[in-house]
Amino acid sequence: MNKRRILIIATLVALVAAAIPILKIIKQDDFSSTPHSFGVSINLPLTGPIAFPGKSFQEAALLALDDLKKESTSKSATFDWNDNTGSPATAATIAKRQVLSDTSIYLVGYSAETLAVQPILSATSKPIFSFSFMASITKEAQIFRNLISFKAEYPIFVKYAKKRQSRKIAIIFADLPEPREEFEKFVIPELVLSGWKESDFVMFPYAVMETDFRTIVAKLAQASPDLIIINGFNTTLAPIVMALRNSQLVRDGNVIGTFDLIDVPKLIGDEAVEGMALATPKFLIAPSKKALDFQNRFQSRYGRQPSYSDFAGYDFVLIVNDLASRLPNTLTPQQLIDAIQRTNIEGVSGHITFDQDGDASPLVTTAVFRSGQLTPLE
């Protein structure tokens, strides 16, 4: 064997030996040395009657992307925004285009939209982040959520009813899958287990496009409830609140609302919601310094204070950026799902990890409107 051949073989052996530790690093759990270029395809209602949370989510996400551009820790991620206007059929049409794109993560809208696109997107085995409030939507291993949900809210209603020892409970709710599940599968059954009877509850579902609640409130008054739970979007909660006020059915603490009640004073004023309680994430009433900084930047850019969906939009980008910093250029959908489950970061909403169901819901508490301010009850 001549010297030239010996030199070539020695060189090849050295290259292989050098590659072995690199391969080991790529297989490590954190994948820290090989950032991944993400494509995130989003399918949300950005216009139409139920667009406010989706549009808020988008605005906060765009702010987060701009903030990350200023940091050396920012990783490559592209966001493809699609407007389904709140229509499940439109969401499904968009999903058929999404599966043909080179994307890493999908984000879809409310429960009806999520259920419409799930059969289409699930074939890719890629993770789906849902904008659904439905408590059980993340039971599917492929679905994640960093938006606050009824899974976090319904225990607040149960605890509040018990604390007030309310015996007759009226529930006004948007006739959608999410609130139906919340009240019919969780709130009412848990209270029945604690001594309430099925007859102690009166239900008033309404069409999501409803604007006149005088008839519903008149029927509610006949039931003489000592606790009224109201559910809906801020655009439906505002006329519900006014109808209750006009019928003189609001007494201090006898009305408790869903998360969106926090945005109602912006539509009808502070006085209308005075004394009403609501389930709310703690970061809105006891914000950290990081949350306050975000609120100030958001206010400066958009001229309004951020709501819970804005916090979720900002944190979603932080989650994606964290994943991009940890993952290799080539990975399987299951590796990506596993990596999401290992998320452990600080967001503007607080510390973010995902539970066994794929939820990163922040801590939720009960608060009451007092003189234009949210005051915690606990």
80-107 pLDDT, tens digit per residue, is 999 999 999 999 999 999 999 888 999 9
Find the mean pLDDT for residues 230-255: 95
Of residues 106, 125, 156, 345, the one with CA closest to residue 256? 156
Grouping H, G, I as helix, E, B as strand and the rest as coil, residue 278 is: strand
Longest Cα pair distance anywhere in the chain, in angstroms? Answer: 103
- What pLDDT score was predicted for residue 184? 97
Of residues 152, 235, 221, 212, the one with CA closest to residue 186? 152
pTM: 0.83
Give Cα 105 to chain centroid, integer Å. 15
Grouping H, G, I as helix, E, B as strand and the rest as coil, residue 69 is: helix
Is the confidence at residue 218, as pLDDT, over 70?
A: yes
The mean pLDDT value of the chain amounts to 88
Token representation of residue 167: 């015996």
Is the confidence at residue 278, as pLDDT, over 60?
A: yes
Structural domains of the chain, with CATH: 38-150+287-361 (3.40.50.2300), 151-285+365-376 (3.40.50.2300)
| pLDDT tens per residue, range 121-138 | 999 999 999 999 999 999
- What pLDDT score was predicted for residue 28? 31
Is the confidence at residue 20, as pLDDT, over 60?
A: no
Is the confidence at residue 13, as pLDDT, over 90?
A: no
- What pLDDT score was predicted for residue 75? 65
- What pLDDT score was predicted for residue 37? 61
- What pLDDT score was predicted for residue 181? 95
- What pLDDT score was predicted for residue 326? 83
H or E element: which one contains 41?
Answer: strand 38-44
The residue to which tokens 């309430």 are assigned? 196
Token representation of residue 358: 């794929």
| pLDDT tens per residue, range 138-197 | 988 899 999 999 999 999 999 999 999 999 999 999 998 899 999 999 999 999 999 999
Is residue 300 within 8 Å of 54, Cβ to Cβ?
no
pLDDT band at 31 (very low <50, low <70, confident <90, very high): very low
Per the model's pLDDT, the better-predicted residue between 68 and 38 turns out to be 68
Find the mean pLDDT for residues 351-364: 92
What are the φ and ψ backbone dihedral angles of 365, each rounded to 5 degrees?
-140, 180
Find the mean pLDDT for residues 269-293: 95
pLDDT band at 74 (very low <50, low <70, confident <90, very high): low
What are the φ and ψ backbone dihedral angles of 203, each rounded to 5 degrees?
-110, 135
Of residues 216, 218, 248, the one with CA closest to residue 230? 216
pLDDT band at 378 (very low <50, low <70, confident <90, very high): low
| pLDDT tens per residue, range 315-332 | 999 999 999 888 876 778
Is the confidence at residue 10, as pLDDT, over 60?
A: no
Is the confidence at residue 341, as pLDDT, over 80?
A: yes
Of residues 352, 354, 347, 350, the one with CA closest to residue 365? 350
Is residue 55 within 8 Å of 32, Cβ to Cβ?
no
